[in-house]
């Protein structure tokens, strides 16, 4: 393998022998100029040829040794650019240009990935993305051209301008795989982008013109929406073959081919495999990497998005570092519904190119795919950053399309990652900030909820189900995760919903009162333990101080629950007799807190309601005992005479979600965890510095009772911020 044959044998050799010779020559010591016919012969190899994995690894090692002299990686990237340009200028049919383009991107992907994950330098100088000054230059290439800019421009142009069809599917797939590999330099750096970070290929994508940026975002989302199917003739290519033998330059951890062969996921925990589509999944992952990338720069006043002086950004603020605008993120945030044509809602023309998408199709696709974490992250990115899409979601009459898969995923929280749970809860919090949304969910009746096992839910309002699931999530968190931020997000959403609650079901009402009881037990236990830990030793004092802090947190939680009940009883009592019944039925749970200084005002309102109905119950003469039905009917009748006399009016709680100032510290590692888990890109674990990797990345199992603490910590520090 390491010795290149002294004489070419291409013309009279069998295809496999020619492949051996050509690949050995490519990785060998001899440098071939750009204009050499060697490149044409290499790129015209039949797509069906195969080569054992260990030979590919040997080839990668040899190229790593010789690339500094031959610059063959740079040259094949230039040829990749030319092949794409040739194909785009041709008739677009399967031809020699097509074969050359597929081979060029595939060979580039395999060797580029190896060089990136085995790089020992801080600036990836092993790639040698330049030509030697002595290189004979053709008229198509200028010696001072930036190769990474050249190749990324060609790749992005092809993706944006060439429609996906049976004839182009394979090339589109391979180019998306190539982009994952080219942008994987992020894996070698830490989670906080610094000014010295080097990402040649992804930085090249950020430098593109806004028109191409918008076209790329449009194409990637269109691929995700339309979900093109693998063409029937794909079996003729080894890349799609189901046989065990690897194809030419097959794998060595390359992302190429593993997309379509499945498995997609050895870390992913979602159960939505039925909605998986190779090209759609690849397109979404590329988009997520692009929109969440942040380029750190120092001292350039023209760059916006300045860092603050928070604890998470101390190192950045000391350097006066800030982040460049991300054009892909901006394009997604400014995307508009295609139904509005070329004039925006206010009737003003748009300045510059704008991504126009079929929001209806995007909405339906997301609803179909929300069992998958990548779809959840896309939905979060849209509702958090794109006000147009958020408004579109809020006016949809079929909110169950999105909410039902979200609520079902939360119901199965023990089988999901903590990141997915947090993202879904934040999405619900964002939606609950709108009063129209809160009113709409209490108007939609669900015939049944088959996946809810604890209680039969027939003819239940969507709003009642949402209350039930949020309370269930708090209960799960209390017993398993014990995460303050998750509690806060759930309770904040419930508080936003409270004034608009309408006909809350009996089961949801019972769960709401039980939530107060559950949190009160935790509160009482902490108060008792704090008293026991007070002593003379410093250790005991420290424990007592920690418990005091936790006790204060649960005091806030109990107060929020009381404010939720107050909001319902103050603004919506006549419409919620079941809530009145639940409060009457469990009124003893409020008694221990009646004189508590943080709760007494709120409890005065609850006891005003209790006194009103208790006095009328006591005065009511009844033959026989009170039954549930009789009490409920009594409440419904007396709700008509309820005027709210004696209630103190409190300012309505309203919580809003604000993204932290340095979200990239969570999102960049999270996106790349999703890339590794979904696309089959088996990156060298020892090379990854972006997030902790103890073992090779593998699929999480349902046995993970405690969700990953590190991921949870990242998210709660850098995402969840609710404010009153």
pLDDT of residue 480: 74
DSSP annotation string for 135-203: PPPPTT--TTS-HHHHHHHHHHHHHHHSPP-TTTHHHHHHHHHHHHHHGGGGGGS-SS--TT---HHHH
Q: How far, rounded to the nearest angstrom, does the alpha carbon of residue 619 sit from its chain's CA centroid? A: 58
pLDDT of residue 217: 98
Given a cut of 70, the residues of the chain with pLDDT beneath it are 1-16, 47, 49, 91-94, 135-144, 232-275, 299-321, 341-351, 481, 532-544, 622-624, 694-724
pLDDT of residue 639: 92
pLDDT of residue 706: 35
Task: Report the alpha-carbon distance of residue 312 to residue 190 in Å, rounded.
Answer: 13
Task: Report the alpha-carbon distance of residue 187 to residue 8 in Å, rounded.
Answer: 40
pLDDT of residue 540: 62
With 0-12 / 13-18 / 19 or more C-beta atoms within 10 angstroms meaning exposed / middle / buried, residue 285 is buried
pLDDT of residue 112: 95
Three-point CA angle 451, 452, 458, nearest 5°: 100
Three-point CA angle 697, 489, 718, nearest 5°: 50
Three-point CA angle 460, 465, 468, nearest 5°: 130
588-631 pLDDT, tens per residue? 999 999 999 999 999 999 999 999 999 998 888 766 678 889 89
pLDDT of residue 358: 96
Strand-pairing partners, residue 323, are 296
Strand-pairing partners, residue 407, are none
Task: Report the alpha-carbon distance of residue 660 to residue 670 in Å, rounded.
Answer: 15
pLDDT of residue 138: 64
């Amino acid at each position: 393998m390491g010795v290149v044959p002294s004489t070419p044998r291409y013309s009279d050799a069998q295809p496999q022998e020619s492949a051996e010779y050509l690949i050995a020559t490519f990785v060998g010591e001899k440098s071939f100029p750009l204009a050499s016919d060697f490149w044409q012969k290499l790129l015209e190899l039949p797509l069906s040829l195969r080569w054992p994995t260990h030979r590919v690894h040997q080839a990668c090692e040899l190229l790593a040794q010789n690339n500094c002299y031959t610059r063959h990686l740079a040259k094949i990237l230039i040829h990749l650019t030319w092949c794409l340009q040739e194909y785009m200028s041709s008739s677009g049919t399967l031809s020699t240009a097509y074969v050359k383009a597929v081979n060029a991107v595939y060979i580039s992907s395999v060797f580029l990935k190896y060089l990136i994950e085995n790089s020992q330098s801080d600036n990836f100088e092993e790639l040698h993305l330049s030509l030697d000054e002595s290189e004979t230059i053709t008229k198509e290439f200028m010696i001072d051209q930036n190769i990474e800019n050249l190749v990324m421009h060609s790749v992005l142009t092809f993706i944006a301008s060439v429609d996906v069809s049976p004839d182009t599917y394979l090339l589109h797939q391979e180019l998306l795989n190539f982009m994952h590999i080219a942008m994987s330099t992020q894996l070698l750096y830490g989670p906080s982008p610094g000014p010295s970070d080097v990402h040649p290929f992804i930085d090249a994508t950020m430098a593109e013109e806004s028109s191409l940026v918008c076209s790329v975002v449009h194409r990637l989302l269109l691929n995700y929406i339309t979900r093109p199917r693998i063409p029937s003739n794909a079996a003729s290519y080894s890349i799609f073959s189901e046989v065990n033998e690897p194809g030419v330059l097959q794998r060595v951890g390359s992302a190429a081919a593993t997309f379509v062969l499945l498995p997609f996921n050895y870390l992913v925990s979602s159960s939505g495999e039925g909605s998986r589509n190779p090209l759609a999944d690849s397109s979404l992952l590329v988009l997520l990497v692009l929109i969440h990338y942040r380029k750190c720069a120092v001292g350039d006043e023209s760059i916006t998005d300045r860092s603050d002086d928070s604890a998470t950004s101390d190192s950045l603020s000391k350097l006066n570092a800030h982040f460049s605008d991300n054009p892909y993120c901006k394009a997604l945030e400014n995307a508009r519904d295609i139904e509005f044509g070329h004039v925006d809602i206010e009737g003003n023309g748009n300045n510059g190119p704008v991504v126009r998408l079929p929001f209806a199709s995007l909405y339906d696709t997301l609803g179909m795919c929300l069992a998958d974490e990548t779809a959840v992250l896309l939905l979060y990115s849209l509702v958090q950053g794109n006000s147009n899409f958020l408004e579109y979601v809020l006016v949809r009459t079929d909110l169950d399309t999105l909410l039902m898969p979200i609520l079902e995923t939360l119901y199965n929280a023990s089988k999901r990652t903590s990141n997915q749970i947090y993202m879904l809860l934040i999405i619900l919090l964002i939606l609950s900030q709108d009063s129209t949304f809160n009113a709409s969910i209490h108007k939609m009746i669900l015939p049944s909820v088959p996946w809810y096992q604890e209680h039969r839910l027939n003819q239940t309002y969507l709003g009642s189900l949402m209350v039930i699931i949020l309370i269930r999530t708090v209960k799960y968190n209390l017993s398993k995760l014990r995460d303050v931020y998750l509690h806060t997000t759930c309770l904040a959403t419930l508080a936003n919903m409270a004034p608009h609650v309408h006909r809350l079901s009996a089961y949801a009402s019972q769960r709401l009162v039980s939530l107060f009881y559950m949190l009160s037990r935790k509160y009482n236990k902490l108060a008792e333990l704090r008293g026991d830990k007070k002593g003379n030793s410093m250790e005991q004092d420290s424990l007592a101080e920690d418990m005091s802090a936790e006790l204060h947190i649960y005091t806030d939680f109990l107060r929020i629950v009381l404010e939720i009940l107050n909001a319902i009883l103050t603004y919506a009592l006549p419409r919620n007799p079941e809530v009145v019944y639940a409060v009457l039925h469990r009124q003893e749970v409020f008694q221990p807190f009646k004189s508590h200084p943080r709760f007494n005002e709120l409890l005065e309102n609850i006891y005003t309601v209790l006194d009103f109905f208790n006095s009328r119950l006591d005065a009511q003469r009844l033959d026989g005992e009170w039954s549930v039905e009789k009490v409920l009917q009594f409440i419904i009748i007396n709700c008509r005479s309820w005027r709210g006399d004696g209630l103190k009016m409190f300012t309505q709680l309203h919580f809003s979600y604000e993204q932290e100032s340095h979200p990239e510290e969570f999102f960049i590692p999270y996106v790349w965890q999703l890339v590794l888990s979904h696309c089959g890109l088996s990156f060298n674990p020892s090379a990854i510095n972006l997030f902790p990797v103890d073992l090779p990345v593998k699929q999480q199992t349902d046995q993970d009772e405690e969700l990953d603490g590190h991921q949870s910590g990242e998210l709660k520090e850098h995402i969840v911020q609710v404010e009153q």
